[in-house]
Chains A and B, each alone.
Chain A
Amino acid sequence: MDAKERIARRVALEVEEGTLVNLGIGLPSLVANYLPADVHVYFQAENGVIGLGARPPEGMEDRDLTDAGGGFVTAVPGAASIDSAMSFGLIRGGHLDMTVLGGLQVDERGYLANWMVPGKMVPGMGGAMDLVQGARKVVVAMVHAAKGSPKIVPECTLPLTAMRRVSLIVTEMCVIEPTEAGLVLRELAEGVSVEDVRAVTSAALILEGEPKVMPLA
């Protein structure tokens, strides 16, 4: 199992029955593949659909039905199409139960930076700032380090996405919960030690008892 699959399988366990969930592009979108069979949710795509379905079979694409990455999707029975004001009203207004986003850096305050690298990459924030600001639960799903260089740091050096403490950080090595006191190491992937995590984490990690073994869907 590669790192991304492991992360997606862990995040899938965070998804609760009957909720509205927004998955970011890339790694976060894999979470939909591993939902437990008894969990039924509506996925929101911020470009305008509640009830996002799988990719349609070839030849059955609708050019007016895509996800936020521009890829063809379907709509499940019970879906609703909405405009951008409604879509972001849902996000900012506290009606979105959970979002899963990628990350470039997360710091000891639990603040996320995931939208630009000054001088290198300026794609624009799209909907990320509204999602982190407004979703009831924000899960950061990211590979733990960038080629050995820590991404979980004392204080973000990249521009923040929002000044809001995210709910959970899930990597292929561990699960970390940002709290008022700092970053608490809750779970370790099988075969990974606290020392392994600390070696690729520059932020301080708090241990509250023995971390659990990270379960996977």
Chain B
Amino acid sequence: MKTAITPARAAEMIPDGASLLIGGFMGVGTPNRLIDALVAVGRKDLTVIANDTAKPGVGIGKLISAGAVSHVVASHIGLNPETQAKMISGELTVELVPQGTLVERIRAGGVGLGGVLTPTGVGTPVEEGKDKIEIDGTTYLLERPIKADFALIAAKQCDYVGNLEYTLTAHNFNPVMALAGRKVIAEPDHILPIGAIPPDAVKTPGVLVHYILERKH
């Protein structure tokens, strides 16, 4: 059983320089209260691993605007001109990863695999510096697993065990990232009594979740 913590308490646990897996796709399914709390305490030098950096003023875009991030691993930064400007000025560095590769690298990190073999990126700039392995006549890139100090997960609702349920396109990277954080902090919209979420509806079992954020006031 877990007791819910405040966003400020969660932000205190995350030190400057930490690596964060953050769920969301253009701000949908992003743990916004955790992000606001990190901005409020002025965190610096964070590594953010996420699908994208949303837009200025939205989701992960707030961390970028606040100068909290020194390294980004993402599949797309095209809709956030601030990320691009800071990359060009050298304020932060960016590693671009194909979306399907990014999610599988995180999954590999979370499920104890030494990497993934994918045909995506062969013959493109993505292959630079990577081992190529041929299996049954097809060439694959060896892509290494990703883990992080923390995974910040947005969920539709949870119970006090930490079982998580997601909704619609707010799933995106969240269920996979919940496997790959050394500490997992879930931000639900609602918290239900234990037993109120049917077992079949649980996408992330509570054993993976270390902390749950109190519900919105």
Q: Which residues does A use to contact B, with CB under 8 Å? A: 45-49, 62-66, 68-70, 75, 81-85, 88-89, 91-92, 121-130, 133-134, 159-163
Instruction: List, sorted by A's number, 6 A–B pairs whose CB atoms are closer than 8 Å.
Output: A47-B25, A47-B172, A85-B176, A124-B78, A130-B101, A134-B119
B51 at the interface (CB under 8 A from A): yes
- Which B1-43 residues have C-beta < 8 A from chain A? 25-29
B169 at the interface (CB under 8 A from A): yes
Q: Which residues does B use to contact A, with CB under 8 Å? A: 25-29, 51-52, 74-79, 84, 87, 96, 98-101, 103-104, 107, 118-126, 156, 166-176, 203
Task: Let me know if A123 and B168 touch, CB within 8 A.
Answer: no
**Number of A-B residue pairs having CB atoms within 8 Å of each other in the complex:** 140
Task: Let me know if A46 and B170 touch, CB within 8 A.
Answer: no
Task: Let me know if A159 and B124 touch, CB within 8 A.
Answer: yes
A133 to B166, CA, bound (A): 29
Task: Let me know if B124 and A163 touch, CB within 8 A.
Answer: yes
A1 to B103, CA, bound (A): 41
Tell me the smallest distance from the CB of A6 to a CB of chain B, in Å.
27
Task: Let me know if A82 and B125 touch, CB within 8 A.
Answer: no
A29 to B210, CA, bound (A): 41
Task: Let me know if B76 and A123 touch, CB within 8 A.
Answer: yes
B-chain residues with CB within 8 Å of residue A159 when the two chains form the complex: 124-125
Q: 9 other contacts beyond A48-B168, A81-B166, A88-B99, with CB at 8 A cut-off?
A: A65-B168, A81-B168, A84-B51, A88-B103, A122-B84, A125-B75, A127-B99, A134-B100, A160-B123
Tell me the smallest distance from the CB of A53 to a CB of chain B, in Å.
12
Tell me the smallest distance from the CB of B155 to a CB of chain A, in Å.
11
Tell me the smallest distance from the CB of A100 to a CB of chain B, in Å.
17
A129 to B171, CA, bound (A): 22
Task: Let me know if A48 and B171 touch, CB within 8 A.
Answer: yes
Task: Let me know if A127 and B169 touch, CB within 8 A.
Answer: no
Task: Let me know if A70 and B172 touch, CB within 8 A.
Answer: no
On whether A124 and B96 interact (CB within 8 A), knowing A83-B173, A84-B176, A130-B120, the answer reads: yes
A-chain residues with CB within 8 Å of residue B172 when the two chains form the complex: 47-48, 83-84
Task: Let me know if B120 and A133 touch, CB within 8 A.
Answer: yes
Task: Let me know if A162 and B120 touch, CB within 8 A.
Answer: yes
On whether A126 and B76 interact (CB within 8 A), knowing A88-B99, A92-B120, A159-B125, the answer reads: yes
